[in-house]
Amino acid sequence: MSEDTKELELKALEDKLINGVSEAVTKRISDENKDKYVEKSELKQFTDAMEKRMNGGFGRVDKQDRKEMLPYVYDYFLREVLELKNVKTAGAWDSATSGAASELIPSEVGTILIEKLNTYSLLRQNCTIYPSDKGVLPAELTAATAARITTRGTLVAVSSIAYTPVTYATMGMQSWMVVDNKVARESPARIFDMVTSQLVKSFAALEYTEFITGAGATEFEGLNTASITTSTPASHSTIGTLDATDVETWYRLLPMGYRMLGKNIFVIGTSTLAARLAAINAVGYEVWNYMTKPETWHSYPYWEHASCTASGTTHPVGYFGDLSYFWIFDKMGLLLRRTSEGQTLTLADQTLVAVYGETDGMVVLPDAFRSLTLHA
């Protein structure tokens, strides 16, 4: 046998080993799954979608894939969350017939919930999200500074950077809603969208409240419990009065590095805006511009917050700082589930559903914020 012939036979054997194993595995998987689907086209649809999901990675599915997945999400909502029987199945991705789909669909539901929460929560759009359960995070006490080397070959002395431990531990948060089963059967897409939107809005509202008033432990550690330096105006003839000098002092109290480069936002109580800052505007010092969108104060966007105190002699009436230094620790994202926890009502043809998550939140660098406390 010639050397060329031997080489060809070895090449053929190598190809057979590689392709043969691949074909054998493919055939075995196909044989195991072919009885689960009515039509071969359904199997192909499923395998194609799974391949795209695996190749694209979580969160990188294209818009068309997401659109095609929605009927299966609604089917999952009806059958697995509401546990409604005799509903029209969505096809091959039904979690009752596909173990892989039972993992795929809940992850997509979780993605939808997080997307909605990020849409409705201005806090989450600006702060830092840290995916963790509990632990200790070393955070700098002040911003790091750079130094220019003035003599070639001679390094400057290293500065002493002080760190402080930030201890966090996520706690559960849940929001409930009653779903009418008859309406859900007739309009699953609309009901799913309405239920998830309302539930995540309640999450956003609670996080926003705790952002200011949270007392730690089972809540966020709010801004009014953090070690934030406050500006207290000089005494005025009328208690609680603010003038332009007071406002400017508060604004300039925040170090320039945060004031010029950060995600700076004012958080102010409604009464402070309506009464005190409007009065400053009236005398020609335009710090509050409510004609722009978003409304600005001292050229920075501001948020009204009902939890900011009005008197402001014990707790601040407002805060100013870089929101990227307010961290939300998020353990698992959000879960949509059927529940009986906290149930205090009699249900007829209805189902109690809940969105559940576990979070904590706090300022990791107090130096990046300044508050305003009125003179008593």
The residue behind tokens 């332009």 is 244
pLDDT band at 58 (very low <50, low <70, confident <90, very high): very low
Provide the percentage of residues in the chain whose pLDDT is more than 90.
22
- What are the structure tokens assigned to 238, written together? 């009328």
Give the DSSP H/E element, type plus range, for residue 84: none
Per-residue pLDDT of 100-115, as tens digits, reads: 455 567 788 888 999 9
Mean pLDDT of 82-101: 59
- Pair 93, 105: CB distance under 8 Å: yes
In this prediction, residue 57 carries a pLDDT of 38
In this prediction, residue 55 carries a pLDDT of 47
Alpha-carbon distance of 315 to 313, in angstroms, equals: 6
> Are residues 343 and 287 part of one domain?
yes
Mean pLDDT of 292-320: 78
> Are residues 174 and 114 part of one domain?
no
Q: Who wins on pLDDT, 88 or 83?
A: 83
Per-residue pLDDT of 178-225, as tens digits, reads: 899 888 988 999 999 999 999 999 999 999 999 998 888 899 999 988
> Are residues 199 and 58 part of one domain?
no
Give the DSSP H/E element, type plus range, for residue 330: strand 326-338
312 domain-assigned: yes
> Are residues 201 and 346 part of one domain?
yes
In this prediction, residue 160 carries a pLDDT of 67
Per-residue pLDDT of 152-173, as tens digits, reads: 888 777 666 777 888 999 999 9
In this prediction, residue 38 carries a pLDDT of 43
In this prediction, residue 36 carries a pLDDT of 47
> Are residues 216 and 178 part of one domain?
yes
Mean pLDDT of 257-265: 81
> Are residues 126 and 73 part of one domain?
no
139 domain-assigned: no
75 domain-assigned: yes
89 domain-assigned: yes
> Are residues 181 and 99 part of one domain?
no
Domain span at 50: 37-118
The residue behind tokens 């979780």 is 110
> Are residues 205 and 321 part of one domain?
yes
Counting every residue, how long is the chain? Answer: 376
Alpha-carbon distance of 350 to 80, in angstroms, equals: 15
> Are residues 372 and 250 part of one domain?
yes
Q: Which residues fall within 8 angstroms of residue 6, CB to CB, at 6 or more apart? A: none
First to last CA, the chain: 105
> Are residues 233 and 249 part of one domain?
yes
151 domain-assigned: no
Q: Would the pLDDT of 12 be above 90?
A: no
> Are residues 127 and 106 part of one domain?
no
> Are residues 342 and 291 part of one domain?
yes
Q: Who wins on pLDDT, 275 or 39?
A: 275
The residue behind tokens 């999200």 is 129
Domain count, the chain: 2
pLDDT band at 320 (very low <50, low <70, confident <90, very high): very high
